[in-house]
């Protein structure tokens, strides 16, 4: 019996048993069956729900989703069009040195003029003018003003007051800088009517004093993306008086006032947390009737009044709950092993969306001295890394791990569908699977020809063996990697990441290999190339790659203001990335999700997203009321 057949039979058994445990976490909720309101019941699979709703803390599980719905960024970024859409701000544009908008006749960014205006060495930064939507409100009824914007970005730039390294990374390209030792402002880069905008030469009329502000950024085209679409804006009137250098925003021992703020968010997004009905098993969000963004016809933007997120600690129980009509949709993507369960299911649709994240095998290239081991020393040899890369058969992984529901990621880590950035020359591992395997063995035969009785290679009297840090959900991929690398005489063992793996293992280089999700696009290459391949300080560069030529290429790409030149340089950099054999692509998994269609219809399939997404919430129509 094949492993996949066995797995499917095991799933069927679990689903049969699920009915016996449906009264566990979230499973006893039968309200949906008789609910005639526009309430959506969403199943969430996880170990627990968050106890704090301070958005900057939210990284795992459902927390980022909740934060992005309760709070808002300045703008939203559209990957497909590489443009920004209104959110808190109704308009924005770069300005020239006289304060005039740098836009084309149709209102888009004039990149040619931007380059000619700011590429010379006599300018230090690029100013951007923003205008808040005058109707944007906090959930407690107060208007969102430029004071909230200044407070938020100033706080993000001041690590002494925020105690949040991630926020500092978000605003890395903002020219608003604090001294890391003293915590004192050493350069201003945020300007409002009351903080010197007119004195600086950035004109703001008296009637616009609450809505217009300026940001100065590094001369990097991608600088704006992180600033306007990552930083969730905080209410100054809730936090300003309860944080200090002695009691910073990120606090493991918060005061009563700070804890109350964490647990009772005042947001500016389309949804408000119902704190009375929210518990450790259920999170309830209500649609705000005063949300400032509406549909094109003037009606409410979202067609759902209430969202009920229900916690399940087991995916099989969550699936059974949806099949029995207790849920409308699962927030989580499901394994391809489950796909067959919904092929002909009445009132349930299986949605498959192209994935965007490449799962990669990251090799520890450059551990700090006290983390270096004999096994990790082997990984510093590029020929050895190439042999491992040659043995990773993506097609076989997609077939055996994903049930065929995925796509190959080129070695340059840019998908062919990204036409502006993709470079076919980055596909440096050519030939059939057998030819690549033969080449890998030829490389290793020259390096470590001795093998033990099981066919594993020997070095200094020991078997060539590496541990791969992974989560429980990554065990199947690591298990198949064991099969693939056994073919070249290398042993792979699974090692659990545990809690806070970045701090425990990854930032300090205390691992052999690990699994990491990677996605690069036109909107994020300035930030993410630097984070994944250059920075050595608590970044996504887990294996601490430090290649001078690559670092220089990325720095040059970041500093050019010519858009076409930038994209051309990204294509060249993808070849350099491929040649390092550092982040070895395993596959890009399709995003599989399930939703019921008996109460509401109109689920939207979006690239990289489950059926539960913002487009669906805008498009749903209700069958029963």
Per the CB < 8 A criterion, the answer to whether 109 and 261 are in contact is no
Asked if residue 429 and residue 318 are part of one domain, the reply reads: no
User: Mean pLDDT throughout 500-513?
Assistant: 89
Asked if residue 407 and residue 375 are part of one domain, the reply reads: yes
**Using CA atoms, how far apart are residues 549 and 493, in angstroms rounded to an integer?**
33
Per-residue DSSP letters for 260-281?
HHHHS----SSEEE-TTT--SS
Asked if residue 305 and residue 227 are part of one domain, the reply reads: no
Which residues are paired to 583 by β-bridges? 362
Q: Is residue 253 situated within a structural domain? A: no
What pLDDT is stored for residue 181 in this prediction?
A: 83
Alpha-helix residue ranges (DSSP H) falling in 201-309: 223-229, 236-239, 256-263
The tokens describing 189, both together, are 């880069």
Domain boundary among 239, 269, 303: 239
Total length of the chain: 625
Q: Is residue 584 situated within a structural domain? A: yes
Q: Is residue 259 situated within a structural domain? A: no
609: closest CA among 582, 589, 625, 579? 589
Asked if residue 291 and residue 208 are part of one domain, the reply reads: no
| Residue 223 belongs to domain with CATH number | 3.90.76.10
34 has a pLDDT exceeding 90: no
pLDDT digits (tens, 9 = 90+) for 372-386: 999 999 999 999 999
pLDDT digits (tens, 9 = 90+) for 572-591: 999 999 999 999 999 999 99
Which residues are paired to 491 by β-bridges? 465
The tokens describing 299, both together, are 């009606």
Q: Is residue 575 situated within a structural domain? A: yes
What pLDDT is stored for residue 7 in this prediction?
A: 46
Asked if residue 217 and residue 120 are part of one domain, the reply reads: yes
User: What are the strands of the beta sheet with 329-330, ordered from one edge?
Assistant: 271-273, 282-287, 306-312, 39-45, 329-330, 591-596, 348-353
523 has a pLDDT exceeding 60: yes
SS percent in the chain: helix, strand, coil, step 5: 35, 20, 45
382: closest CA among 587, 578, 535? 578
Q: Is residue 332 situated within a structural domain? A: yes
What pLDDT is stored for residue 624 in this prediction?
A: 64
What pLDDT is stored for residue 93 in this prediction?
A: 95
58-62, 166-170, 213-217, 561-565: which is most confident: 213-217
Domain boundary among 215, 239, 263: 239
Positions of E strands within 161-256 = 177-178, 185-187, 190-191, 212-217
User: Mean pLDDT throughout 548-571?
Assistant: 95
Q: Is residue 274 situated within a structural domain? A: no
**Using CA atoms, how far apart are residues 349 and 328, in angstroms rounded to an integer?**
11
What pLDDT is stored for residue 38 in this prediction?
A: 94
**Using CA atoms, how far apart are residues 612 and 204, in angstroms rounded to an integer?**
41
**Using CA atoms, how far apart are residues 421 and 414, in angstroms rounded to an integer?**
7
User: Mean pLDDT throughout 241-269?
Assistant: 94
pLDDT digits (tens, 9 = 90+) for 294-336: 999 999 999 999 999 999 999 899 999 999 999 999 998 888 8
Asked if residue 109 and residue 24 are part of one domain, the reply reads: no
Per the CB < 8 A criterion, the answer to whether 584 and 389 are in contact is yes
Q: Is residue 260 situated within a structural domain? A: no
1 has a pLDDT exceeding 60: no
Report how many domains make up the chain. 3
What are the b/e assignments for 487-506, b being 16+ CB within 10 Å? ebbbbbebbebeeebeeebb
pLDDT digits (tens, 9 = 90+) for 433-473: 999 999 999 999 999 999 999 999 999 999 999 999 998 88
Asked if residue 614 and residue 583 are part of one domain, the reply reads: no
User: Mean pLDDT throughout 173-195?
Assistant: 94
Q: Which residue has the tokens 């790409």?
A: 557
pLDDT digits (tens, 9 = 90+) for 114-140: 999 999 888 899 999 999 999 999 999
Domain boundary among 207, 239, 271: 239
User: What are the strands of the beta sheet with 358-363, ordered from one edge?
Assistant: 406-407, 583-589, 358-363, 513-518, 465-470, 491-496
**Using CA atoms, how far apart are residues 572 and 421, in angstroms rounded to an integer?**
9
Whole-model pTM?
0.86
Asked if residue 389 and residue 303 are part of one domain, the reply reads: no
Question: Who's near 186: CB < 8 A, 6+ residues apart?
Answer: 177, 178, 179
Q: How many CA atoms lie within 13 A of 233 on its CB side?
A: 30
Give the torsion sign (CA, 309, 590, 531, 178).
Answer: negative
The tokens describing 52, both together, are 């704090």
**CA separation, residue 354 to residues 59, 391, 474 (Å):** 23, 25, 19
| Residue 532 belongs to domain with CATH number | 3.10.105.10
**Using CA atoms, how far apart are residues 137 and 463, in angstroms rounded to an integer?**
63
Q: Which residue has the tokens 């389309």?
A: 270
22: three-class secondary structure by DSSP: coil
Q: How far apart are the first and last CA of the chain?
A: 48
- Identify the domain containing residue 414 by its residue range: 358-589
**Using CA atoms, how far apart are residues 617 and 301, in angstroms rounded to an integer?**
8
CA 446 to chain centre: 41
Mean pLDDT, the chain, as a whole number?
Answer: 91
Label residue 4 by pLDDT band (50, 70, 90). very low
Question: Who's near 28: CB < 8 A, 6+ residues apart?
Answer: 22
What pLDDT is stored for residue 24 in this prediction?
A: 43
What pLDDT is stored for residue 60 in this prediction?
A: 65
**Using CA atoms, how far apart are residues 541 and 296, in angstroms rounded to an integer?**
43
Label residue 59 by pLDDT band (50, 70, 90). low
What pLDDT is stored for residue 292 in this prediction?
A: 96
Label residue 291 by pLDDT band (50, 70, 90). very high
Phi, then psi, of 42 in degrees rounded to 5: -115, 125
DSSP class of residue 541 equals: -
**Using CA atoms, how far apart are residues 74 and 541, in angstroms rounded to an integer?**
28
Asked if residue 22 and residue 109 are part of one domain, the reply reads: no
Question: Who's near 19: CB < 8 A, 6+ residues apart?
Answer: 320, 324
**Using CA atoms, how far apart are residues 405 and 4, in angstroms rounded to an integer?**
14
Q: How many CA atoms lie within 13 A of 119 on its CB side?
A: 13
What pLDDT is stored for residue 30 in this prediction?
A: 65
Asked if residue 285 and residue 203 are part of one domain, the reply reads: no
What pLDDT is stored for residue 13 in this prediction?
A: 43
What pLDDT is stored for residue 29 in this prediction?
A: 53
What pLDDT is stored for residue 25 in this prediction?
A: 47
List Cβ<8 Å contacts ≥24 apart for 535-539: 538/165, 538/502, 538/507, 539/169, 539/507
Asked if residue 232 and residue 87 are part of one domain, the reply reads: yes
| Residue 329 belongs to domain with CATH number | 3.40.190.10
For the chain, what is the total number of helices (H) and then of strands (E)? Answer: 21, 25
Asked if residue 414 and residue 349 are part of one domain, the reply reads: no
Q: Is residue 183 situated within a structural domain? A: yes
């Amino acid at each position: 019996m094949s492993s996949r057949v066995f797995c499917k039979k095991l799933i069927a058994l679990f689903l049969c048993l699920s009915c016996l445990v449906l009264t566990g976490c979230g499973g006893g909720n039968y309200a949906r069956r008789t609910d005639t309101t526009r309430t959506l019941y969403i199943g969430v699979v996880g170990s627990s729900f968050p106890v704090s709703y301070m958005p900057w803390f939210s990284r795992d599980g459902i927390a980022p989703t909740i934060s992005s719905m309760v709070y808002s960024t300045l703008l939203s970024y559209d990957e497909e069009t590489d443009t920004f859409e209104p959110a808190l701000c109704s308009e924005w544009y770069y300005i020239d040195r006289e304060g005039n908008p740098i836009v084309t006749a149709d209102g888009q960014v004039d990149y040619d003029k931007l380059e000619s205006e700011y590429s010379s060495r006599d300018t230090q930064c690029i100013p951007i003018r923003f205008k808040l939507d005058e109707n944007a409100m906090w959930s407690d009824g107060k208007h969102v003003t430029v004071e909230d914007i200044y407070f938020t970005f100033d706080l993000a730039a001041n690590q002494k007051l925020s105690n949040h390294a991630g926020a500092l990374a978000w605003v890395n390209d903002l020219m608003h800088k604090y001294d890391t030792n003293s915590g004192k402002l050493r350069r201003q880069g945020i300007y409002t009517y009351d903080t010197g905008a007119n004195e600086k030469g950035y004109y703001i009329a008296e009637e616009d004093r609450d809505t217009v502000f300026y940001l100065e950024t590094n001369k990097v085209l991608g600088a704006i993306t992180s600033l306007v679409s990552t930083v969730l804006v905080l209410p100054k009137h809730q936090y300003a008086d309860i944080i200090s250098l002695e009691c910073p925003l990120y606090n493991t021992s918060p005061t009563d006032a700070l804890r109350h703020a964490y647990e009772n968010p005042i947001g500016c997004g389309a949804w408000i947390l119902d704190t009375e009905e929210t518990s450790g098993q259920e999170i309830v969000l209500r649609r705000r009737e005063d949300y400032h963004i509406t549909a094109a016809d003037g009606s409410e933007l979202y067609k759902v009044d209430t969202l009920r997120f229900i916690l399940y600690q087991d995916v099989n129980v969550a699936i059974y709950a949806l099949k029995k009509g207790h849920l409308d949709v699962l927030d989580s993507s499901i394994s391809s092993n489950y796909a067959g369960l919904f092929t002909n299911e009445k009132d349930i649709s299986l949605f498959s969306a192209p994935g965007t994240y490449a799962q990669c095998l990251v090799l520890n290239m450059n551990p700090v001295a006290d983390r270096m081991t004999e096994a990790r020393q082997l990984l510093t040899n590029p020929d050895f890394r190439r042999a491992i890369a040659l043995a990773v058969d993506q097609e076989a992984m997609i077939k055996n791990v994903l049930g065929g529901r995925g796509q190959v990621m080129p070695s340059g880590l840019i998908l062919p569908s990204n036409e502006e950035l993709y470079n076919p020359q980055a596909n440096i591992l050519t030939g059939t699977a057998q030819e690549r395997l033969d080449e890998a063995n030829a490389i290793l035969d020259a390096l470590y020809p001795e093998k033990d009785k099981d066919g594993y290679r020997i070095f200094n009297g020991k078997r060539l063996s590496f541990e791969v840090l992974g989560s429980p959900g990554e065990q199947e991929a690591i298990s198949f990697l064991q099969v693939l690398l056994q073919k070249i005489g290398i042993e792979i063992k699974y090692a659990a990441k545990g809690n806070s793996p970045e701090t425990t293992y990854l930032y300090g280089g205390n691992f052999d290999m690990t699994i990491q999700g990677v996605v690069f696009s036109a909107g994020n290459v300035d930030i993410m190339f630097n984070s994944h391949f250059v920075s050595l300080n608590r970044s996504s560069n887990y294996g601490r790659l430090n290649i001078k030529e690559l670092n220089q290429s990325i720095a040059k790409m970041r500093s050019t203001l010519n858009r076409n030149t930038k994209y051309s340089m990204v294509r060249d950099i993808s070849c350099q990335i491929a040649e390092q054999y550092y982040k070895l692509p395993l596959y890009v998994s399709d995003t599989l999700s399930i939703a019921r269609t008996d109460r509401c219809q109109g689920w939207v399939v979006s690239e990289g997203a489950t059926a539960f997404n913002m487009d669906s919430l805008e498009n749903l129509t209700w069958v029963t009321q």
